[in-house]
Structure 1
Amino acid sequence: MSIQARIASLRLALDCPVIESGQPGYDRARTIWNVDIDRRPLVIVQPASAAQVAGAVRWAADNGVEVTVRGGGHNLAGSCVRDGAMMIDLRALSAASYDHEAGTVTIGGGAALGQLDRANAAQGVTVPAGTVSHTGVGGLTLGGGNGYLSRLHGMTVDHLVSIELVTADGRIVEASQDENPDLFWALRGAGHNYGVATSFTFRYLPRTFTANVRHAFYAADSRADVLRFFRDWSYDGAPDDVTTYARLVEVPPYWTSFAPEFRGTNVISVATIHWGEPDHEDSAVSPMFAQADPIWERRYRTPHLELQHACDDDFRQGLKHYWRAGNLVRFPDEAIDTVLSFSDEYPGRPLQASSTIAPHFTCPFQFFPRGGATGRVAPEATSVGERNSSKWVSTLGGEWEFADEREPIIEWTRRFDDAMSPYKDGAYVNFMSDAGKPEAGRWLYGDKFDRLVAIKREYDLDNMFNSGLIDLLPKTTSAEVA
């Protein structure tokens, strides 16, 4: 039977959209957030139920077709789309439902973060999650989930109660502390390798939040002093109800809020998100802003829901991205010198949106602390790599629009990342552009790696789900591990 005939049989069996190249909707469905990724799947399946997902997985196994899974499509490395594979596009699975007696919300595996946030706000509840509303709930959660509320209430996986998962053999299983607990542990931080997550159930916080935001920029000659204080204060000195972000950027020429002499110059941005009472904000965060005279500053109060959308324009669709990430265990003065030197050499253009100057935006280097509630979870409780030993999460990289900009930015990013390697221990998996080599798994997950591999062999011995950033069973066959 030809592949076209087999795809026709798939379409009949599933009773959901099954799209091939040349058909309406194909290019739109295969296009993801990082448009540097341009791949053409064999077929795109758009299921509306876990049963349809299971049918698609069984068809792929029977026909020797690789599988990728699209939720929000935000993965930097483009793991949700592969040439010649089946893409399972989960975006029709996005509904939220509530069990207020249990204090939980269940949401489909294809939902975007903004859909969860808006549904929660309507119910007067909150789930700590990421910071860009068009990020997928699935990818964010399966990698751990950092956000504005992490220091106060922990990572997204710390609020996860259960996951409905379609396994490589087409079964629909529940993973929780009570049911398939080893699988549940693996999914909470290294979860992109084990199946198709069709829904997530979270224990919500029974209230909404309002943030006190303070944001300031400082001139080039203040950057070292500001970064040194940020290092010394953000992790150990700031209270749990404060999250802080430092970023090195070039002021775009179209940011007319800045005096002309600062446009086109390299500056440092510092933003604090304070979740306490407004009259407590000044004493909580003012030390961070006392290191130099700002060239631009703003203070405002905003609901959690609005803050969750604050960076959407800066992380807009249509740009091309390349990032490297690191969990920093130390950040000495020589590392600060390295950061400043490389930031000044950045070969790209500033592409931040002109409509707003948000607390969170693309840049050559960004830096935020862990600690607080994030660091008080037992290291072995989740599969998130090195969440307790690292003090800060850093990302570096760039964005571009035109083909001739690509290679200089990628080459610069790799050199910068190599120069920062002495200060890192692993990385946050959701912030990396490169699909890792086999040895990268142990670097990311440390002494958890062997347990992750053992669980992978139990649920996916033939390595159907191998498009995550880290392939836990590279080139491994059933015979080799029998």
Structure 2
Amino acid sequence: MDITTLCTAVRGTVRTPGSGGSAAVAEVRVATPLDISAAMRFARQRRLRITTSRRPKGDEVALDLTALKGITVNARERTAEVQAGTTWAELDAATQAHGLATPGPRLSHTSVVGAVLGRAQGWLTPLHGTTSDNLVRAECITADGRLITTEEPEGVITSVTLKLHPLGHKVYGGVLLYRLADAPTTLGVLGELASRGREFAGLAAYVTAPPERFVPGDLVGRPVLAVVPAFMGDPVIGASYARPLRVKARPLVDQARPLAYVEQQSLFDRHVPHDLRCDTTEVPALTPDLLRHFEDTSTALRVLVPHGSGWTVHEGEQ
């Protein structure tokens, strides 16, 4: 199969280095799952790799699945069937209409399928596990172009069915900003709160204070510790639960409050790039040397998530 035949075989569009600037051998904007099958056959015959990355390489066929949109919520069975191009913002809006949700990443502009493949963790993970833990089944196009339904995804996923869980529209979240000098005390409190209950999914991040309207002008651009006291339950209980974060250390900025779950999910969307790649490590404790390493916010975004056996640290290039 040559490029001309591929263009004829798909209902979507095909870009090549000469026709649209794509770095890939071909970039297929998929309109139907049959387009994926055609691209898979083309790649197999040419001995090329298939990718869904936004940064394809010169020996790859790139699939753009963003046009594959669709969500079917079964509130009675507490499941949602989600097509591959759907984002978390779209899924959260559909499930919250029924007072339901499922664990996903803490960024709503990311794809649902990407979260399944990446075993994404989020605000609901302490209660319900990762995104992939909630996978019921997936429809996939295999390397030889067949459409299959499986509990163990392979090839290219066209849709997934996920378990849903009851969740009220309001949770307790938002953000508090602290001086770096208060980080050891604040992180100690955060770790204690995480060990007390599964509804608490708080985290901290070493960041540069953003130019938001709620951030004082003299604080903008300075390294700070941001804490998100996320409580995935009754926001009144959440406010009481998070009280030690105000008592044992004094925040410079206090924007923690009851808010809609969909707003909590999108807190960081404007501040984290779509293509941010993170390295993840597990540490048993946050030592003084490690905290000093985290204080340089000019080169990396560092997110610290407490759990029973220590901390998960995500580091991404700025």
Deviates more, 1:210-219 or 1:130-139: 210-219
Change (3 A) 1:393 1:209: farther
Which of 310, 313, 318 in structure 2 is aligned with 1:394? 313
Please give the TM-score of this superposition, normalised by the length of structure 2.
Answer: 0.89
Matched to 2:301, the amino acid is P
What is aligned with 2:102? 127
> Once the 2 structures are TM-superposed, how far is the Cα of residue 224 of structure 1 from its aligned partner?
2.0
What is aligned with 1:159? 134
What is aligned with 1:54? 37
> Once the 2 structures are TM-superposed, how far is the Cα of residue 345 of structure 1 from its aligned partner?
4.0
Tell me how far apart the structure 1 counterparts of residues 256 and 11 of structure 2 sit (CA, whole Å).
52
What is aligned with 2:207? 249
Q: Deviations over 1:191-236 (max 9, x none)?
A: xxx31011000122255431112532222321222223333x1442
Change (3 A) 1:60 1:279: closer
> Once the 2 structures are TM-superposed, how far is the Cα of residue 250 of structure 1 from its aligned partner?
3.1
Change (3 A) 1:321 1:7: same
Instruction: Name the SS for the 1:222 alignment partner.
Output: helix
Percent identity over paired residues: 23
Tell me how far apart the structure 2 counterparts of residues 52 and 314 of structure 1 sit (CA, whole Å).
34
Higher RCO (C-alpha 8 Å, min separation 6): 1
What is aligned with 2:237? 280
Structure 1 contact 127–202 (Cα < 8 Å) conserved:
yes
- Is 1:93 matched with 2:68? yes
> Once the 2 structures are TM-superposed, how far is the Cα of residue 158 of structure 1 from its aligned partner?
2.2
Tell me how far apart the structure 1 counterparts of residues 213 and 34 of structure 2 sit (CA, whole Å).
53
What is aligned with 2:289? 338
Change (3 A) 1:68 1:123: same
> Once the 2 structures are TM-superposed, how far is the Cα of residue 82 of structure 1 from its aligned partner?
1.7
Matched to 2:313, the amino acid is S
Change (3 A) 1:276 1:66: closer
Q: Which consecutive residues of structure 2, in runs of 5 or more, have no partner in the other structure?
A: none
Tell me how far apart the structure 2 counterparts of residues 123 and 293 of structure 1 sit (CA, whole Å).
38
What is aligned with 2:265? 308
Q: Deviations over 1:300-349 (max 9, x none)?
A: 221112222222111245xx856422123x01xxx43223322344544x
What is aligned with 2:227? 270
- Is 1:108 matched with 2:83? yes
Which of 125, 128, 131 in structure 2 is aligned with 1:150? 125
- Is 1:202 matched with 2:186? no
Matched to 1:203, the amino acid is K
Structure 1 contact 18–44 (Cα < 8 Å) conserved:
yes
Structure 1 contact 129–145 (Cα < 8 Å) conserved:
yes
> Once the 2 structures are TM-superposed, how far is the Cα of residue 274 of structure 1 from its aligned partner?
1.4
Instruction: Name the SS for the 2:242 alignment partner.
Output: helix
What is aligned with 1:327? 282
Q: Which consecutive residues of structure 1, in runs of 5 or more, have no partner in the other structure?
A: 31-39, 177-183, 188-193, 349-362, 372-389, 400-482
Structure 2 contact 17–25 (Cα < 8 Å) conserved:
yes
> Once the 2 structures are TM-superposed, how far is the Cα of residue 246 of structure 1 from its aligned partner?
1.1
What is aligned with 2:116? 141
Structure 1 contact 45–87 (Cα < 8 Å) conserved:
yes
Tell me how far apart the structure 1 counterparts of residues 29 and 11 of structure 2 sit (CA, whole Å).
10
Tell me how far apart the structure 2 counterparts of residues 364 and 103 of structure 1 sit (CA, whole Å).
35
Tell me how far apart the structure 1 counterparts of residues 218 and 9 of structure 2 sit (CA, whole Å).
64
Structure 1 contact 228–336 (Cα < 8 Å) conserved:
no
Q: Deviations over 1:426-463 (max 9, x none)?
A: xxxxxxxxxxxxxxxxxxxxxxxxxxxxxxxxxxxxxx
Structure 2 contact 11–31 (Cα < 8 Å) conserved:
no
Q: Which has the higher strand share?
A: 2
Matched to 1:168, the amino acid is A
Change (3 A) 1:236 1:195: same
Matched to 2:15, the amino acid is I
Q: Deviations over 1:152-190 (max 9, x none)?
A: 2222122211001111122211112xxxxxxx2xx4xxx
What is aligned with 1:236? 195
Change (3 A) 1:325 1:55: same
Instruction: Name the SS for the 1:395 alignment partner.
Output: strand
Tell me how far apart the structure 1 counterparts of residues 276 and 120 of structure 2 sit (CA, whole Å).
20
Matched to 1:162, the amino acid is R
> Once the 2 structures are TM-superposed, how far is the Cα of residue 262 of structure 1 from its aligned partner?
4.1
Instruction: Name the SS for the 1:392 alignment partner.
Output: strand
Instruction: Name the SS for the 1:274 alignment partner.
Output: coil
Structure 1 contact 209–275 (Cα < 8 Å) conserved:
no
- Is 1:211 matched with 2:148? no
Count of residues paired in the alignment: 318
- Is 1:369 matched with 2:288? no
What is aligned with 1:444? none
- Is 1:6 matched with 2:2? yes
